[in-house]
Amino acid sequence: MSNVLEVNHPVIDIYLTTLREKTTSTAAFRRAMATIGNILAYHALSSLPLKEFEIETPVQKTKGLTPASDVIVIPILRAGLSLVDGIINFIPEAKVGHIGVYRDEETHEPVNYYHNLPAGIENGYTLVVDPMLATGGSGSHAVKFLKESGAKNIRFVALIAAPEGIKRLQEDHPDVPIITAAIDEKLNNQAYIVPGLGDAGDRYFGTT
């Protein structure tokens, strides 16, 4: 799959096991999400543009580096919030916006019910965050909305992705890289990722 990075790492394998296990406690689930979120942020920010400025060490003056644009994290509510802590722990200066999306029962199309975007998104380095890229409908809708709002440099970060969701996002937004910890087998009849981990939002917030 072009423009898709599946991050292979032993630490991810360990914590994905924790997330998939149905008896994992809410606290352990949250810790695992934060750890993987941190690793995904490392890879998602690999192309972050930097600019030079002068600093002074105890020995001499030298060059320093700082982000050339704002890092903006946009979780798709509510499950996307589960990955935010891990990402902003990696880059604390990141701005965080929010997009809330629901599916219309008649048209079956995604609809915004809430959005709050930081200033400067036009020039930002934007990470759209959702733990489960399943059908790709909400993800594609969120990316489209961000582009219409002026965002240009966008990446999609998912904990687990289904081939169907990747295909949809790539067809609709071939310019948007996808960074994920695992590409699973498929979607079942209820559009849950198989083997997946169930409802990430419910498990993270303890509402199962």
Q: Is the pTM of this model over 0.85?
A: yes
8 Å CB contact between 72 and 95 = yes
Identify the active-site residue in 13, 17, 103, 208.
103
Has domain 4-205 been given CATH number 3.40.50.2020? yes
Of the candidates 70, 85, 172, 199, the residue annotated as catalytic is 199
Rounded to 10 deg, the angle between the 10-20 and 26-44 helix axes is 140
Is 103 considered catalytic here? Answer: yes
Contact present, 160 and 181 (Cβ < 8 Å): yes
pLDDT in tens, 68-113: 999 999 999 989 999 999 999 999 999 999 999 887 767 767 888 9
- pLDDT score of 1: 65
Query: pLDDT tens across 113-126, in order?
Result: 999 999 999 999 99
Mark the ranges of the chain whose per-residue pLDDT is less than 70: 1, 105, 108
For tokens 């003056």, name the residue: 61
Residue 184 annotated to the active site: no
pLDDT of residue 208: 73
Name the residue ranges covered by the structural domains of the chain: 4-205
As a whole number of angstroms, the distance between CA 25 and CA 56 comes to 47
Catalytic, out of 175, 202, 207, 208? 202
Does residue 13 have an active-site annotation?
Answer: no
